[in-house]
Structure 1
Amino acid sequence: MARNKFPVHTTLSSEAVKILERYEKELGAKNLVLEKALLSLDSTKFKSKIDINNIDKVIKRVSTGVAGLDDMLEGGVPKGSSVIVTGPPGTGKTTLCMQFLMEGVKADEKCLFFSFEERIPQLIQHFMRFGWDLGSHIDDGYLEIFGMSMLTFEEIGEIIETYKPQRIVFDSLNVFTDPEEFRKSISWRSLHKLLKKLNITTFLVTEKENGMEKKVYDKYDFVGDGIIFLDKMQINEVEPTLTPVLAVQKMRATKVDTTPQPFRFTDKGISKYRTVNLMANKLQERMDVARSSSSEEPRYQ
């Protein structure tokens, strides 16, 4: 019986063996054979990493739980996106994120909530205001909450790899890390890479000192695939009451209207007004006036 030219214990793949045999016939000298073969093997690996045929051409959408907002996003946020949810304090950022997680739980998706400034009892009370049954969701294994979290990026990564969630909320990044250090942080880059690898849709809450009428960005904004800005604005000079508004300022792979849209808080969470044309136009006019009357140029923090 003929002996196998390549023993069973060899570490070479069949592809590598073919490349070696080809260059052995052409070049003869073993050092040249190995050099050419390794170059070809590297080239083969590189091509396999960018195989366009293996990329899903259909953009899968993840519902935010807010019907009106989904309408603004072609049906939802692109799956696997990291979305910055930002705005001044008290504008509904945490509520929107909780609603986003509850929508995931309804779809039998595992969800994680990391809060860096609120205790678990406070968070649960906040959830329960809108009739969301946290206890059963936690018992069923679809929701985990970490309040007043002192976890490091590395520890968060370990939790994510073990739990394997489809949705995550971080609230808020300003408490967890300095914006100037955040984007360059190796630990964050590693965690962000993990989120992308596992195709997890993530909402990251950040705080703004300014309203949306001022065009001011920070380092967090540049990290996100999308930015949802929540604010409160006065519709007209006669009515002093501030109206809650939201604007999708950015969303990759999505055609968006950046005009501020009014919304309201209901007993079931956030709901965007259906009839918004007149109010939205007035909001945009007020923003334009506020910007033109300001002597400051747009600033980027």
Structure 2
Amino acid sequence: MARNKYPVHTTLSSDAIKVLERYEKELGAKNLVLEKALLSLDTSRFKSKLDTQNLDRAIKRISTGVTGLDDMLEGGVPEGFSVIVTGPPGTGKTTLSMQFLVDGVRKGEKCVLFSFEERLQQLVQHFMRFGWDIGKYIDDGYLEVFGMSMLTFEEITEIVETYKPKRVVFDSLNVFSNPEEFRKSASWRSSHRLMKQRKITSFLITEKHHGIETKDFDEYDFLGDGIIFLDSMKVNEVDTTLSPVLAVQKMRATKVDTTPQPFRFGEHGIVKYRSLHLESRLQERLGVPSMDTGYNESFSDKPGY
């Protein structure tokens, strides 16, 4: 019966195969033992190949679409990062994420929104109030929106491979499964690996049942390269009005100030102001260092989304 010439050593280096071919002529079938021995020595096949000489040390950053937030991130989110956008309901998570996509569309980048709880028509109507012509972006081929999506991650991976976007938003991950199961999901890991390989920058919206003052994290937070937390809170002891704030709690390869910063919902989306002056009691409660680097502004009472 015909025998496969290379039954075991198909993953070996070319040099190892040459050695095997030489001994195969001398030892015949006995080369199987030698193959296994060489295979155990050829550990280089498990190592990632990285050309350190030609590695680009400059980090390309992608704008969030919010100028003040980009200033907090040394110019934007590092390309290819997966950023967790989280917080309680109605704090602006979807608006911030859509603003991130609109910024990409305006720069000629293909973008995709996977919304698992909102209909397409509802999303378009909501974002029209910010002057974002979502319908036109879709018709022009720069934006794909999957509303009330029932897609599996296998189907999502196929869409990403076909459409080749530069920016992707998932709204929200909690719909799929609980955080503990999601992080270990093979289908998610496959989609995540593809986005990393393609250097696709993504915003992953998650839901929190607590505010920014609570020091508690879930598995979603650990899988992200960065975390942006949106919330509403009192910024001083006198005024009881809740003001919208955001905090960059984590961003790899970036020096960040984790102090909550105020923002408002303007006519064209989220507008971030300069550093917030927090009273000492509030700073102590949040666990942030005392600093006097900013000022308070008036805020729009426009609701978040």
- For normalisation by structure 1, the TM-score amounts to 0.82
Give the unaligned 5+ runs of structure 2: 1-9, 289-305
Q: Aligned partners of 2:34, 2:90: CA distance in 1, in Å? A: 67
Query: More helix by proportion, 1 or 2?
Result: 1
State whether structure 2 residue 133 is matched by structure 1 residue 137: no
Q: Give the SS at the match of 1:248.
A: strand
State whether structure 2 residue 77 is matched by structure 1 residue 81: no
Question: Residues 93 and 230 of structure 1 are in contact (CA less than 8 Å); yes or no, is this contact kept in structure 2?
Answer: yes
Q: Describe how 1:125-164 pairs up with structure 2 within 5 A.
A: 125-164=125-164
Shift of 1:288: 2.3
The match for 2:175 is 175
Q: Aligned partners of 1:119, 1:177: CA distance in 2, in Å? A: 20
Question: Residues 20 and 34 of structure 1 are in contact (CA less than 8 Å); yes or no, is this contact kept in structure 2?
Answer: no
> Which residue among 250, 275, 285 is the counterpart of 1:289?
285
CA distance 1:175–1:21, change in 2 (3 Å)? closer
Question: Residues 169 and 204 of structure 2 are in contact (CA less than 8 Å); yes or no, is this contact kept in structure 1?
Answer: yes
CA distance 1:46–1:148, change in 2 (3 Å)? same
Shift of 1:46: 5.0
Q: Deviations over 1:272-294 (max 9, x none)?
A: 113x2xx3433x741523679xx
The one-letter code sitting in structure 2 at the alignment partner of 1:178 is N
Q: Aligned partners of 1:48, 1:183: CA distance in 2, in Å? A: 23
Q: Give the SS at the match of 2:278.
A: helix
Question: Residues 91 and 232 of structure 1 are in contact (CA less than 8 Å); yes or no, is this contact kept in structure 2?
Answer: yes
Q: Aligned partners of 1:81, 1:165: CA distance in 2, in Å? A: 14
Q: Aligned partners of 1:207, 1:230: CA distance in 2, in Å? A: 10
State whether structure 2 residue 113 is matched by structure 1 residue 113: yes
The one-letter code sitting in structure 2 at the alignment partner of 1:64 is T
CA distance 1:217–1:20, change in 2 (3 Å)? same
The match for 2:234 is 234
Question: Residues 91 and 230 of structure 1 are in contact (CA less than 8 Å); yes or no, is this contact kept in structure 2?
Answer: yes
Q: Aligned partners of 1:47, 1:188: CA distance in 2, in Å? A: 23
Q: Aligned partners of 1:92, 1:165: CA distance in 2, in Å? A: 23
The one-letter code sitting in structure 2 at the alignment partner of 1:181 is E
Does 168-177 or 90-99 show the bigger shift? 168-177
The match for 2:296 is none
Shift of 1:240: 1.8
Q: Aligned partners of 1:215, 1:48: CA distance in 2, in Å? A: 36
Q: Give the SS at the match of 1:102.
A: helix
Give the unaligned 5+ runs of structure 1: 1-11, 293-301
The match for 2:206 is 206
- For normalisation by structure 2, the TM-score amounts to 0.81
Shift of 1:242: 1.1
The match for 2:256 is 256
Does 234-243 or 93-102 show the bigger shift? 234-243
Shift of 1:47: 5.9
Q: Give the SS at the match of 1:108.
A: coil
CA distance 1:238–1:281, change in 2 (3 Å)? closer
Q: Aligned partners of 1:291, 1:86: CA distance in 2, in Å? A: 19
Fraction of identical pairs, as percent = 64
> Which residue among 14, 18, 21 is the counterpart of 1:20?
18
Q: Aligned partners of 2:213, 2:147: CA distance in 1, in Å? A: 32
The match for 1:5 is none
The one-letter code sitting in structure 2 at the alignment partner of 1:286 is L
Shift of 1:55: 3.0
Q: Give the SS at the match of 1:229.
A: strand
Shift of 1:184: 1.4
Question: Residues 231 and 246 of structure 2 are in contact (CA less than 8 Å); yes or no, is this contact kept in structure 1?
Answer: yes
Does 93-102 or 128-137 show the bigger shift? 128-137
CA distance 1:241–1:156, change in 2 (3 Å)? same
The one-letter code sitting in structure 1 at the alignment partner of 2:122 is Q
Q: Over aligned residue pairs, what C-alpha RMSD do you find? A: 2.7
Q: Aligned partners of 2:48, 2:246: CA distance in 1, in Å? A: 42
Shift of 1:181: 1.2
Q: Aligned partners of 1:243, 1:285: CA distance in 2, in Å? A: 17
